[in-house]
Chain A
Amino acid sequence: MLASLRNVSKVFTDPRNGRGLVALNGIDLDVKEGEFLCLIGSSGCGKSTTLNLLAGFESPTRGDVLFKGKKVIGPSPERGVVFQEPSLYPWMSVLQNVMFSVQEKNGRESLAMEYLKMVGLDGFANSRPSDLSGGMKQRVAIARALAMGPDLLLMDEPFGSLDEQTRRKLDNDVLRLWKEGSKTVVFVTHNIDEALMLGTRVVLMSASPGRIEREWVLDADWPRDLSSPSMMSLREEIIGMLQACACANGAAPVQLLTIGD
């Protein structure tokens, strides 16, 4: 097992207004070496929190986050993250952004160039991030995450703000890089088609409090045909479950329980 969450809960409390939010409650999740794991679910179900726990940006309120059998205590180059929001440093060139994350002491520039080549942006090495389109920026972010030499690649709705065409193209890029580099990927998305297109396993999470609802193992080869009968029925099944969860969330809010001290 490359990484695992053991009975993990995460609670966010706001001491100013006395509100507590249980983002995750008693989650068990194993990330197997070499798999492409897609986390799906409606917003607020704790997908991003799960990813941040794996990355080491957040620490669990209860339970353990393990990576290669050791407790995760903070972020590390072993776990590269591609963020949803713009994360490139605008004051650095594209090349400098990638070089920033290269771990090797020598030959950083040529290594960074190699990673840029992998995402097809070696021609833009000296451009500024502000000169790139949204899709290109995310490709640089992927190159940067790969440049860290991670064993686990964590992607938090990386193409959520891109148009459909660009998203599909980048999905294929990610798939190619995953196959070539035999990496392990955890990919958060709210797009069911994207998850079905990419994942070797799809985990559905649901909200209030965040928990794992169900999971499916996908063994179809790529490129996948989403209009095939088996895919169609799987898609229907996931949508059905997602709606059931969403309805449960949409129900009248229960009386907030006040817990005294």
Chain B
Amino acid sequence: MAVATALDTGQAQFVFRPETTRLMAKGTWNAFLGIMVVVFIWWFVAEAMMFLRGVPFPTPPETMSAFWQAIMGADVHGESIFAHANASLQRWGQGYLIALVLGLALGLAFGTMPRLHDVGMISVYVFQMIPGLAWIPIAMLIFGLGETATVFIIVMTAIPPLVINTAGGIREVPAVYTRVARMSGKDDSALFMKVLLPAASLSIINGMRIGLANGWRVLIAAEMVVGVALGLGFSIYQSRYSLDFTASFVSIMAICIIGLTIEKLLFVSMENRVRNRLGLDRED
């Protein structure tokens, strides 16, 4: 309508009422379709496995109802789902906090000191290549079985993306930004705080986001070595012995929901704020 009118009347520019509600409805519908695809694949695999192999593969409806019961207080591998989630969140929170402090400090140091970067990045790349499960023997050797070992594994998997993105972000700050600060008579600390840090902020946030996701995903592996029978990862692993696969599917769902919620709530809004500040386009 608006487009046709503009063309017919020969306008160069025009305004029209943005179709916010329609776009939002479309976005919601697309998200719903996306979820449906996941459920469909899951259901198909479940039915196929039950038919071909005769195993009790939990279907989406079974898992949903078990999930609902768990929310209402039913036990999942000996504890309520909230106790499991709480234990996991605490371990992950501790690990991520340590990783955040260490990773940012290392990344900032590597980003500003080229020699340190060239030497230090080798070990970061090596650490990054080690999969989460492979940290288990190392963690056990250093800390034995228990909470500390779990937190250690989370720290080690969350640190590399933090360091790589922080250092990379600072090193990729255009030289002209530094030159402007230098000719304006700024010292090292002003250059760092007022120019390098804001210029690299998007990359740093990206590293924080990947580190967060890494740490959350490695929980399953990390909780194989916890001493106490508590945690979403422990609960998943426990189905090897209990054969209660529905319970482990409930835990998998809880992990996905918590992880996505944290990422969407925390990081998407943070990233959009920074993008806005940098004059870049928003990301949904």
Contact A75 B277 (CB under 8 A): no
B198 at the interface (CB under 8 A from A): yes
Q: CA of A80 to CA of B180 in the docked complex: distance in angstroms?
A: 9
The segment from A24-32, A37-45, A84-92 found at the interface with B is A84-92
Q: Which residue of B lies closest to A87 (CB)?
A: B176
In the complex, per-residue mask of A118-130: 1 if CB is within 8 Å of any chain B CB, else 0: 0000000000111
Contact B198 A76 (CB under 8 A): no
User: Which residues, 108 to 150 on A, are CB-close (under 8 Å) to B?
Assistant: 128-131, 144, 148
B70 at the interface (CB under 8 A from A): no
Query: Do A90 and B183 form a contact, CB below 8 Å, given A85-B176, A100-B194?
Result: no
B143 at the interface (CB under 8 A from A): no
User: Which residues, 134 to 166 on B, are CB-close (under 8 Å) to A?
Assistant: none
Q: CA of A56 to CA of B183 in the docked complex: distance in angstroms?
A: 9
| Contact for A57 among B177, B179, B184, B195, CB less than 8 A | B179
For the side of the interface on A, what is the size category? 20 to 34
Q: Which residue of A lies closest to B198 (CB)?
A: A91
Q: CA of A81 to CA of B195 in the docked complex: distance in angstroms?
A: 17
Contact A87 B185 (CB under 8 A): no
Q: CA of A74 to CA of B179 in the docked complex: distance in angstroms?
A: 10
List the B side residues contacting A7 at CB < 8 Å. Answer: none
A101 at the interface (CB under 8 A from B): yes
Query: Do A74 and B177 form a contact, CB below 8 Å, given A90-B279, A91-B278?
Result: no
B282 at the interface (CB under 8 A from A): no
List the A side residues contacting B176 at CB < 8 Å. Answer: 83, 85-87
Distance between A75 CB and nearest chain B CB, rounded to angstroms: 4
A201 at the interface (CB under 8 A from B): no
Distance between B60 CB and nearest chain A CB, rounded to angstroms: 45
Distance between A160 CB and nearest chain B CB, rounded to angstroms: 14
User: Which residues, 170 to 216 on B, are CB-close (under 8 Å) to A?
Assistant: 174, 176-177, 179-185, 194-195, 198-199, 201
- Complex A-B, nearest 8 residue pairs according to Cβ-Cβ distance, in ascending order: A130-B279, A75-B183, A101-B184, A75-B182, A90-B279, A87-B176, A91-B198, A77-B185
Q: List 27 A-B contacts (CB under 8 A).
A: A55-B179, A56-B183, A57-B182, A74-B182, A75-B179, A76-B183, A76-B185, A77-B185, A80-B183, A81-B183, A83-B179, A83-B180, A85-B174, A86-B176, A87-B177, A87-B180, A89-B177, A89-B180, A89-B198, A90-B280, A91-B201, A91-B279, A100-B194, A103-B185, A130-B280, A131-B279, A148-B185
20 new A-B pairs (CB below 8 Å) besides A55-B183, A86-B176? A74-B182, A75-B179, A75-B182, A76-B183, A77-B183, A77-B184, A79-B183, A87-B176, A87-B180, A89-B177, A89-B198, A90-B277, A91-B201, A101-B183, A128-B279, A130-B279, A131-B279, A144-B180, A148-B183, A148-B185
